[in-house]
Amino acid sequence: MNKIINKNKENVNKVVEEVQKTFNKPKRNTDRTAAKFNHEHKESKKLYECSQSLFTTILQHQQNKDIKKNLSFFACKSKFCSICNQIKSKKWSKETFKTITNLQKEKEQKFLFLTLTIQNVKIEELDATIKKMNKAWRDLWRYHFDKEMRFHGFIKVLEITFPNGDMSHPHFHILLSVNKNYFYKSNKEYLTTERISELWGQVLKVDYLPIVDIKTIKPKKKHGKIVKQAVPAVIAEMLKYPMKDTDYNKLNEDTMALLYSNLFRKRLIATGGNLKMSINKVEDSGELNEVEDLEEWKKIAYIVMKFHGGSYVVAGGDFF
């Protein structure tokens, strides 16, 4: 502890502050979610143990003296964990943006943001409802969307919100890729919002017209100049958190247990067509490696941080 404080203090303190800024709030949220489960529930223990200790190797570039870090920890990979979701979201966003950038280089692709909803259901009905929604989506894509003059790829995220303590609102946020000729007036395959709503209701096999929304993703302009690219912003937002930890405040031990059992082994993100990506590339491993070429970097310190009193504090370490 004293060695870390007294030697190379500035660099170590900078890394400690970065880790605290990144992990303190999500870890507090994860622990609050763990407390919503019965203390005997296996998910509670898993969430409490997640990232309880952080192991950080600090490296310095041999020539320009830049500082980077390798960070590892036990990752619970729970759907309810703010830290694991945050890391997975960033990796998904990075992989998605790379795929979309390549598509834009190869073809004249544009992107649409589609939201498909269903009426609210009780939490205990989520399992059957999600299966119904996934089957409906497969039918919608296969029979109506996957056509040359319509859509060529998708990223589908299942988001669940909770209007109150026993009801849930599952819905899909979907990024669709299209060629620019989809918007031509001559394109008879163009689908209006109203038509998509009708088709979604048909494949869902419901007796009401579900609410849908679809919009073209356009860059933000000011004085005729692009000031913000819209696609990265939409990607970051839709992949952020399929379930928000603040919504768990509306639930109790019983409804949390119901939610857990109804979401067991459910995939919340799916891809297809020219946006299909392997989840293995972005699955969280509990390791954050920011260094590409270790030969150009030398290890200068190793620190262990533990979560205590609502914050990560240095608990040990050494210098190389």
**What average pLDDT score do residues 275-283 get?**
65
pLDDT in tens, 184-237: 989 999 999 999 999 999 999 999 999 999 998 876 655 555 434 667 778 877
Which pLDDT band holds residue 7 (cuts at 50, 70, 90)?
Answer: low
Check residue 1 and give its pLDDT: 44
Give the separation between CA 193 and CA 212, rounded to whole angstroms: 7
282 CB-near residues (< 8 Å, 6+ apart): 88, 91, 92, 94, 95
Check residue 8 and give its pLDDT: 66
| Structural contact between residues 59 and 300, judged by C-beta atoms closer than 8 angstroms | yes
Structure tokens at 209: 């017209």
Query: How many angstroms separate the Cα of 192 from the Cα of each of 201, 212, 215, 289, 319?
Result: 14, 11, 10, 45, 63
The span from the first CA to the last CA of the chain, in angstroms, equals 14
Collapsing DSSP to helix, strand or coil, 142 comes out as helix
Nearest one of 98, 82, 23 to 241, comparing CA atoms: 82
Check residue 234 and give its pLDDT: 81
Find where tokens 């979610």 sit.
33
User: The whole model's pTM is what?
Assistant: 0.86
| Structural contact between residues 177 and 235, judged by C-beta atoms closer than 8 angstroms | no
If one counts every other C-beta atom within 10 angstroms of the C-beta of residue 77, the result is: 16
- pLDDT mean across residues, the chain: 87
Of the listed ranges 18-22, 48-52, 102-106, 293-297, the least confidently predicted one is 293-297
Give the separation between CA 81 and CA 224, rounded to whole angstroms: 42
DSSP state of 143: I
Which pLDDT band holds residue 300 (cuts at 50, 70, 90)?
Answer: confident
Which pLDDT band holds residue 285 (cuts at 50, 70, 90)?
Answer: very low
Structure tokens at 271: 């891809």
Most confident of 13-22, 110-119, 177-186, 231-240: 110-119
If one counts every other C-beta atom within 10 angstroms of the C-beta of residue 103, the result is: 17
Q: In what order do the strands lie in the sheet with 67-72?
A: 287-289, 67-72, 53-61, 297-308, 311-319
pLDDT in tens, 144-170: 999 989 999 999 999 999 998 899 999
If one counts every other C-beta atom within 10 angstroms of the C-beta of residue 241, the result is: 18
DSSP state of 181: G
| Structural contact between residues 245 and 149, judged by C-beta atoms closer than 8 angstroms | no
Q: Give the side-chain half-sphere CA count within 13 A for 198.
A: 6
Check residue 236 and give its pLDDT: 79
pLDDT higher than 80, residue 70 = yes
Give the separation between CA 169 and CA 283, rounded to whole angstroms: 26
Check residue 221 and give its pLDDT: 56
Give the separation between CA 172 and CA 174, rounded to whole angstroms: 6
Structure tokens at 89: 């979201």
Show the beta-strand stretches assigned E in the chain: 53-61, 67-72, 109-117, 121-122, 153-161, 167-179, 212-216, 220-222, 225-228, 269-273, 287-289, 297-308, 311-319
Query: How many angstroms separate the Cα of 64 from the Cα of each of 61, 117, 292?
Result: 6, 52, 16
- pLDDT: is 206 or 238 the higher one? 206
Give the separation between CA 252 and CA 89, rounded to whole angstroms: 26
DSSP state of 29: H
